[in-house]
Structure 1
Amino acid sequence: MSEHRYSLAVIVGSTREGRFAPVVANWFARHAENHPDITVDVDVIDLGTIRPYELRYGSEEYASFAKRVDAADAFVVITPEYNHSFPAPLKHAIDLLQPQWRAKPVGFVSYGGISGGLRAVEQLRLVFAELHAVTVRETVSFAGAGSLFDDEGRLHDPAPATKAADALLKQLTWWAVSLREARTARPYGA
């Protein structure tokens, strides 16, 4: 698959003070960029920096966010699980746009307590389905994430997460390239 370069937006979904999301996002972004079997351009879109509640339609910041999402061939959403769901700023950021998500694949990397954030992922699948995006089956999930990473953001035992990330990237790459070709051949009608 290495001959098929594509653009991957990694969306950091938590905006909380003291959040753990950047550790997980940096690990995943590094893994994707250094993967031997795929060629991907990674754009990390950190909602903690973008502050989606402050984006106003017509502003430069809104246009920049929309352009970055539109330019992506695929997405990986990094989400914690807060009270059995995903963060409200993530939902707001998703809802700010519509056509930019259409006919593109979305993967998930989640973290949280015992569920590893999977309850948040299941709810996000419904949101992205409504936007005509395709969610991939494979996920990366970290239960008790804080204890799994060292102070440098490296996993103590990288094998399980690496295996899951490879499966996610393999599916995401197939969908990203296939849907980009389909969108080029004929516009998606929603």
Structure 2
Amino acid sequence: MSLKLKIIIGSTRPGRMGPIVADWVAEAAAAHAGFDAELVDLAALDLPLLDEPNHPAAQDYQKDHTKAFSAIIDDADAFIFVTPEYDGFPPAAVVNALQLLVKEWAYKPAGTVAYGGISGGLRSAQELRQLIGNLNMVALNAVVPVPFHWEKIEDGKLVANDPMKDGLSGLLDELQKWGDTLKPLHAAEVAAAA
């Protein structure tokens, strides 16, 4: 049975290239055959900055946008965060999205595909991995960096080199292993809380 993989586009800036990188990830996930992949675009969701009156651990959401986002994340078995690097850090939009929820993230694996200049977004990915771990997700060690991403875009598509392709294939393999392993644990936690 395929795992539900949510590929989260972390940038919301006008002119962003996150959707192009995320499309490459989604194509690879579809070819992998272990996943039912879905893109989650934070720009389209337009989540306000932490506007819920109650702590997210209570899951007593008052806002429709939070309820909708909670359902999207709760439905997932695994995640790939596609993130640029802004000043050595992930975008505020992805940090906000992560901090908006708590229990929906727990006991699920998460990988990162980062893009940027010479470092390929690795500093951003490292910071993001720490936050992911703090939310009881399993932050996978493997990160797929995409250095100088703008040089790899042709006709609106990312043209990946072999190391990028191999890295993403390995990340998907790890996500599938961890996703299969953690899925019963997440289900047990949800059942215990009900």
Fold conserved (TM > 0.5)? yes
| Kept in 2: contact 1:55–1:61 (CA 8 A) | no
Within 1, Cα distance between the matches of 2:139 and 2:110? 5
Pairing partner for 1:144 from 145, 148, 159: 148
Contiguous gaps of at least 5 residues in structure 1: none
| Kept in 2: contact 1:55–1:62 (CA 8 A) | no
Instruction: Give the letter for the 2:182 counterpart.
Output: L
Does residue 51 (structure 1) correspond to residue 54 (structure 2)? The answer is no
Within 1, Cα distance between the matches of 2:127 and 2:49? 24
TM-score (norm 2): 0.88
Pairing partner for 1:183 from 158, 183, 186: 186
Contiguous gaps of at least 5 residues in structure 2: 53-61
Q: What's the CA shift for 1:161?
A: 1.4
Does residue 31 (structure 1) correspond to residue 28 (structure 2)? The answer is yes
Within 1, Cα distance between the matches of 2:137 and 2:34? 22
| Kept in 2: contact 1:79–1:120 (CA 8 A) | yes
Q: What's the CA shift for 1:39?
A: 2.5
In structure 2, the CA distance between the partners of 1:55 and 1:85, relative to structure 1 (3 Å rule), is closer
TM-score (norm 1): 0.90
Does residue 11 (structure 1) correspond to residue 13 (structure 2)? The answer is no
In structure 2, the CA distance between the partners of 1:55 and 1:46, relative to structure 1 (3 Å rule), is farther
Aligned to 2:56: none
Instruction: Give the letter for the 1:41 counterpart.
Output: D
Aligned to 2:57: none
Instruction: Give the letter for the 2:28 counterpart.
Output: H
TM-superposition CA deviations, 1:86-125 (whole Å, max 9, x none): 1011111110000001011000000001110000011111
- SS of the aligned residue for 1:85 comes to coil
Q: How many residues align?
A: 183
Within 2, Cα distance between the matches of 1:126 and 1:158? 28
Q: What's the CA shift for 1:61?
A: 2.1
Superposed CA RMSD: 1.8
Q: Which moved more, 1:72-81 or 1:143-152?
A: 143-152
Q: What's the CA shift for 1:62?
A: 1.6
TM-superposition CA deviations, 1:121-167 (whole Å, max 9, x none): 11111111111110111121111000012123040x53221101100
- SS of the aligned residue for 1:17 comes to coil
